Amino acid sequence: MDSAVLLDLLGNENRRRILRLLSQKPCYVTEISEYLGVSPKAVIDHLRKLEEAGLIESTTDDQRRKYFRITRSLRLEVSVSPYGFGAKSAYPASNSLDMSGRCPHLSIDDPGTGERADDIAELAAEYGRLRELDRELSVAKRWVHGRVEQALAEIDDRLGTTADSRFYAAVLTALVETDGTLEAVADEIGAPARAVRDALGRLADVGVVTREGNRFHIR
């Protein structure tokens, strides 16, 4: 789902409260109306929007009462900083996904590899391990974001506050990962050669990079 659509849906407090309630159990309209303290008509309108977006679905019981439940899992991440704004949504990967080699900077113990647990005790233990891993990854992600902003702030200090620090950081990273030619750097970061040439010139002016022939190098 497009992150902008999801942000718009979740911008309404009552829709957030509906999802919070449905994450605990399926509910019918009257239950939701009493929980929110709003009219059934307003609840139906919120449910319609959530259902059209594919976040919830409904089923009818033997008494012809319609129950609503969350239909799938997804994650929304929003980043706001002096160096950028972004939002992205993602669906969970398949539980059969092989994590070996996918996270070279982390050591992830995945004994299950997508297999079913033999009994409920083993399943509960696995759930506990995964919750702890989720907490650790959350801390690690906050740490990485902090280090990224620190690096960008230091680039700003070197180049001046008017510099596009993210662009210059991308150029410097590309110098490390390529042969250092203008064409290779521009291709690596997907930027126009003229913009890369101007950035390399400024980096050279402040003594961050040097040029040897048609190649640039970080000092």
User: What band does 126 get if pLDDT is binned at 50, 70 and 90?
Assistant: confident
Cα R_g (the chain), whole angstroms? 25
Look at the chain and count its residues.
Answer: 219
Per CATH, the number for 3-70 is: 1.10.10.10
Q: Which residue has the tokens 């647990």?
A: 117
Q: Which residue has the tokens 């991440």?
A: 77
The yes-or-no answer to whether 3-70 and 112-219 have a common fold is yes
Reading the block at residue 55, the tokens are 């976040």
pLDDT at 85: 84
- Mean pLDDT of the chain, nearest integer: 86
- So where are the chain's domains? 3-70, 112-219
Phi/psi region, residue 71 (left: phi>0; alpha: psi -120 to 50; beta: rest), is: alpha
> Among 81, 76, 79, 77, which Cα is nearest to 151's?
81
> Among 4, 48, 47, 1, which Cα is nearest to 27's?
47
pLDDT at 64: 86
Choice between 12 and 115, residue whose per-residue pLDDT is larger: 12
pLDDT, average across residues 131-160: 86
Domain 112-219 sits in CATH 3.40.50.700: no
Q: Decide if pLDDT at 113 tops 70.
A: no
Choice between 17 and 82, residue whose per-residue pLDDT is larger: 17
